[in-house]
Amino acid sequence: MDFYLGLAQVIGIHTLLGLSAWCVLHTGQVSIAQGGFFAIGAYVAGMLTSMWGWPLGLALLAGAILSGIVAVAVGFPALRIKGLMLVVATTAFAEIVRLVFFNLTWRVQTPAGLVGPDGSLGFGGIRYFPGNGWSMLEINFLIWFLVAFVMLFLGWLDRSRVGTLWRAVGEDELAAQSAGINLTAAKVSAFGVGGCIAGLAGGVFAHYATHIEHNNFGILLATFAIAYPIIGGLSSLAGTLLAVIFIQGILLEGLRFLGDWRSLLFGALIVVVMLVRPSGFLRRSLGESFGRTKHA
* CA-based nearest residue to 170, from 5, 275, 31, 283: 31
Please state the length of the chain: 296
Question: What per-residue confidence (pLDDT) applies to 295?
Answer: 40
Amino acid at site 55: P
Distance CA 273, CA 115 (A): 45
Cβ-count burial 226-246 (b if 16+ within 10 Å, e if not): bbbbbbbbbbbbbbbbbbbbb
CB 48 within 8 A of CB 63: yes
Burial class (CB in 10 A: 0-12, 13-18, 19+), 69: middle
CB 281 within 8 A of CB 232: yes
Element (DSSP H or E) covering residue 113: strand 113-115
The answer as to whether 33 is a domain residue is: yes
Distance CA 127, CA 211 (A): 9
Residues lower than pLDDT 50 in the chain? 284-296
Cross-strand bridge partners of residue 118: 105
The answer as to whether 186 is a domain residue is: yes
The answer as to whether 88 is a domain residue is: yes
* CA-based nearest residue to 197, from 13, 4, 7, 59: 13
The answer as to whether 255 is a domain residue is: no
Backbone phi, psi, residue 123, to 5°: -125, 105
CB 168 within 8 A of CB 181: yes
Cβ count near 187 (within 10 Å): 24
* Residues 192/36/173/279 CA torsion (nearest 10 deg): -110
Q: What's the pTM value of the predicted model, to 2 decimals?
A: 0.90
Per 3-state DSSP, the chain is made up of helix, strand and coil in percentages (nearest 5) of 75, 5, 20
Question: What per-residue confidence (pLDDT) applies to 279?
Answer: 63
Range of the domain at 166: 2-218
Question: What per-residue confidence (pLDDT) applies to 53?
Answer: 93
| Residue-averaged pLDDT of the chain | 88
The answer as to whether 293 is a domain residue is: no
Degrees, nearest 5: CA angle 62-67-69 = 95
Query: Could you give the number of structural domains in the chain?
Result: 1
Question: What per-residue confidence (pLDDT) applies to 111?
Answer: 84
Cross-strand bridge partners of residue 113: 110
The answer as to whether 157 is a domain residue is: yes
Distance CA 232, CA 242 (A): 7
The answer as to whether 35 is a domain residue is: yes
The answer as to whether 184 is a domain residue is: yes
